[in-house]
Amino acid sequence: MKLTSIYFFAFVLVVCLVYYLIPKKMQWIVLLASSMVFFVMSSGILTVYMLATTAIVYGGALWLNKHRETFESRKQELDKAQRKEAKKKLKKGQKLRVAAIAVTVLGILVVLKYCNLGVEIANMFMGIFHLNYSFEMFSIVLPLGISYYTLMAVSYVTDVYRGVIKAEKNPLRVLLFVSYFPHIVEGPFDRFKDLSEQFSIPHKFDYDSFCKGCILVLFGLFKKMVIADRLGITVAEIFDHPSEHTGPAIVIATVMYTIQLYCDFSGCIDIISGVSELFGIKVAENFRQPFFSRSINEFWRRWHITLGLWLKEYVYYPVILSGHFKAVDKFAKKHLKSNHLINVVPAAYALFFVWLSNGLWHGASLKYILYGLYYYLLMMIGELCKPLFEKIKNKMHIKDGNKPFALFQMLRTFLIVNIGMLLFRSATVGEFFRLIKQAMSSFNYFGGAREVVTISIEVIYAFVGVVVILMIGIVKEKNKTVLFRDLIYQKPFILRYLFVLFFVTCILTFGVYGPGYNASDFVYAQF
């Protein structure tokens, strides 16, 4: 069931009706039942993988709880020294248990999603050693949102281990958190502590919240159907037959792909968040105008925010508190003379795991690993050269608040992101380098633009849509504390409905849909 299809909205409407008509105590059961229906309709028998993951983290969390309770009940009988020893033992036992649960859950993901990466690496080595044999790729169908629900399940059990939340006794409530249909397709990565209470409290129908949710859905549909899908037609034509196009057309298509991906992904998140708000449930924020970022670090704090937070909480922090990180830290202190290097090297070590995980999360292929490491490398170069950049800035009397300099930084970040997106879009690493070479072959961008427009003149609608999104982005940047839909909702009745009418008209007139159109999947749904 595609999120832009009429069936999806009919489904949401029915769920909404039942949700607000039944006794409020049972609202969460409606969400659970609808999530199950949605999951089974999308994944069929593969739903068992999601159920297995839920069962493991549910049982695992109770196991952790029981282990801790046993210690607590015996604590009083022990003297101080014995208590210290027992506490140490408890800590070790808890760590082993949570590691076993996480490895089991992640193991399912690895086997299903990453076995072909193993085949790809094995075949690469076969080629390197000139062995005349190649392994065949496995043909595996993945259940809906496997990476999303697996990582959310891991976050649940890890939070129980850390004492951030208590283990949930009702397995159905854990199942609802893992399978909640709005966030299962493309995230965001919610945390149990943020959603469980919202699922538990009664939700009275609130007309204003309902309308604001609808505005968000509309905004998401505009991004997806008017911009992303419209750009997608031209982008696909150019990248599917790159040899038939000029270098400048490749460059323009790369920028278009970056915008397509942004509108596709953030549009989906807007639809998801809007639908969730119809039930009175707020999911986590996933985008904050990423193209206004002045550095790569900032970009990743604004793009797919919840993935960054997940990696920080469950990869970066455990690494920086680990024994091996401390060993690297000590090594740097002992062997490096520069204070700057002593600070950078240990952090670089920890961040390597974060960016490797980021790359791996995006897909089971070497190009995705390279995609993660591309950002890692750029960040590390930036960190290593920080003193040099500071010196240059001081010499040129450039201050941080300088607006032309800020614009330069934004454009530089946009360029870096576009190169990353080209790698992301390329079928293989080899093709990425071929496309880079081709892009540098000519600089006749006027001809390139004409070439792009010739493929589909209707791409112009998408460009107008981009201007609208850009203007809204500027308003959002200036009003960081107020949500855009609240800003719209504060306007007088006429203005508010003109705004809605504008978006509805644009979607109906310029959106990609109708007979013969097969609603394209959301790009991030494949993860």
Partner 1 sequence: MDKLIEILNSLRPGVDFAAQTKIVDDGILDSMTIARLIGLLEDEYDIEFEVTDLVPENFNSVEAMMKMIERLED
DSSP string covering 102-157, please? Answer: HHHHHHHHHHHHHHHHHHHHHHHHHHHTT-S--PPPP--PPPTTHHHHHHHHHHHH
Contacts of 72 (CB under 8 A, 6+ apart): none
Between 202 and 318, whose beta carbon lies closer to partner 1? 318
Between 262 and 316, whose beta carbon lies closer to partner 1? 316
Query: How far is it, in rounded angstroms, from Cα 393 to Cα 391?
Result: 5
Between 313 and 431, whose beta carbon lies closer to partner 1? 313
- Could you tell me what percentage of the chain is helix, strand and coil, using 3-state DSSP and rounding each to the nearest 5? 80, 0, 20
Q: How far is the CB of 321 from partner 1 (least distance, A)?
A: 6
Please name which of 183, 171, 52, 46 lies closest in space to residue 107, comparing C-alpha atoms.
52
Q: How far is the CB of 489 from partner 1 (least distance, A)?
A: 28
Q: How far is the CB of 152 from partner 1 (least distance, A)?
A: 17
Residue indicated by tokens 């020893």 = 85
Query: Chain-centre distance of CA 314, in angstroms?
Result: 15
Q: Is 130 left (phi over 0), alpha (psi -120 to 50) or beta?
A: left
Query: How far is it, in rounded angstroms, from Cα 188 to Cα 303?
Result: 11
Tally of CA atoms within 13 A in the half-sphere of 212 that contains its CB: 22
Q: How far is the CB of 347 from partner 1 (least distance, A)?
A: 4
Between 297 and 418, whose beta carbon lies closer to partner 1? 297
Q: How far is the CB of 4 from partner 1 (least distance, A)?
A: 36
End-to-end CA distance of the chain, in Å? 16
Between 241 and 399, whose beta carbon lies closer to partner 1? 399
Residue indicated by tokens 């951030």 = 164
Q: How far is the CB of 329 from partner 1 (least distance, A)?
A: 5
Between 114 and 331, whose beta carbon lies closer to partner 1? 331
Query: Chain-centre distance of CA 201, in angstroms?
Result: 28
Q: How far is the CB of 399 from partner 1 (least distance, A)?
A: 15
Between 31 and 157, whose beta carbon lies closer to partner 1? 157
Q: Please provide the size of the chain in residues.
A: 527
Contacts of 457 (CB under 8 A, 6+ apart): none
Helix (H) or strand (E) holding 225: none
Q: How far is the CB of 324 from partner 1 (least distance, A)?
A: 13
Query: How far is it, in rounded angstroms, from Cα 9 to Cα 344?
Result: 50
Task: Report the amino acid identity of residue 235.
Answer: V
Q: How far is the CB of 105 from partner 1 (least distance, A)?
A: 19
Q: How far is the CB of 312 from partner 1 (least distance, A)?
A: 6
Helix (H) or strand (E) holding 101: helix 80-128
Between 48 and 327, whose beta carbon lies closer to partner 1? 327
3-class DSSP assignment, residue 151: helix
Instruction: State the alpha helices, DSSP H only, in 163-206.
Output: 171-179, 181-184, 192-200
Query: How far is it, in rounded angstroms, from Cα 466 to Cα 262?
Result: 11
Query: Chain-centre distance of CA 293, in angstroms?
Result: 17
- Could you list the residues that contact partner 1 (CB under 8 A)? 162-164, 297, 312-313, 316-318, 320-321, 325-326, 329, 339, 342-344, 346-347, 350-351, 383
Q: How far is the CB of 352 from partner 1 (least distance, A)?
A: 12
Between 162 and 450, whose beta carbon lies closer to partner 1? 162
Helix (H) or strand (E) holding 523: none
- On whether the CB atoms of residues 147 and 50 are closer than 8 A, the answer is no
